[in-house]
Amino acid sequence: MKHIYWLGQTETDVPAENDWLSVSECVRLNGMHFAKRRDDWRLGRWTAKCAVVSFLNLPADTQSLARIEICPASSGAPEVFIANESAAVTVSISHRSGAAICAVAAPGLDLGCDQEVIEARSEAFVADYFTEGEQALVARISEAERSRLVTLLWSAKESALKALREGLRLDTRTVAVSPIEEAADLNGWRPLRVCADGRAFQGWWQQAHGMVRTFVADPPLDSPILLSMPTRFLDCVSLSR
């Protein structure tokens, strides 16, 4: 199997200027009237473009990023274009609390990623959004582990719904998550399985810095590998600030 690759960025990593956006992306950004929406959108696009540059080994400069466009398909799922041509890459983006991740893989598969802050969620939340099997699993877990498990189950559902290109249009109770009891690999990734809309997705989850990250794919992919940005690109970005 091939791997999922991924990159994480935060709001502090995003340049103040917008010269890394395409003309049409700048137009879209200027049409957003709420600061949080603008910040989240810029963070997601920045993270995705950086991931694509690293994954495809593209030239490491802001002009190269401006040639990359992350466009929403009719389903809302992100698609990558380079100089107006469809790129040979599949991506999924998630952002939460000033941090974003982008999952990247080869074309021809269904991919979803999500990250969530580990926090307490109510009994009503579990009853409204989880399957009966998931509710039973939560009921058996210790109180100390409950918040992490609930966050994991919810995040995996989000990832699967993105892979299906459905989002929350699909009832989350039709998406069943099963964490697999295996030891974490050297990077802290553990496997999971998600059954959704008659399909089975294999995936991975990791806890880090008070958050849970999940990735799912069909066909299955090996555990995620963290991408890194070329030093020369980082130097160019730091000079632009």
**Do 120 and 204 lie in a common domain?**
yes
Do the domain assignments include residue 155?
yes
pLDDT of 205-239, one tens digit each? 999 999 999 999 999 999 999 998 766 565 555 54
Please tell me the predicted confidence (pLDDT) of residue 181.
Answer: 87
Do the domain assignments include residue 186?
yes
pLDDT score of 1 more than 80:
no
- Ranges of beta strands (E only) in 76-109 are 78-82, 85-86, 90-96, 99-105
**Do 233 and 186 lie in a common domain?**
no
Q: Per the structure block, which two tokens stand in for 223? A: 């555990």
Do the domain assignments include residue 125?
yes
**Do 155 and 91 lie in a common domain?**
no
pLDDT of 76-88, one tens digit each? 899 999 999 999 9
Report, as an integer, the average pLDDT of 157-183.
92
CATH code of 234's domain: 3.90.470.20
Report, as an integer, the average pLDDT of 140-146.
94
**Do 187 and 232 lie in a common domain?**
no
Please tell me the predicted confidence (pLDDT) of residue 130.
Answer: 98
Domain count within the chain: 2
Do the domain assignments include residue 89?
yes
Domain that holds residue 130: 114-214
**Do 85 and 182 lie in a common domain?**
no
**Listed residue (30, 20, 55, 10) closest to 239, CA to CA:** 20
pLDDT band at 168 (very low <50, low <70, confident <90, very high): confident
CA–centroid distance for 181 within its chain: 23
pLDDT score of 241 more than 80:
no
Tell me how many helices (H) and strands (E) the chain has.
7, 12
pTM for this prediction: 0.93
pLDDT of 171-198, one tens digit each? 999 999 999 989 999 899 999 999 998 8
pLDDT score of 18 more than 90:
yes
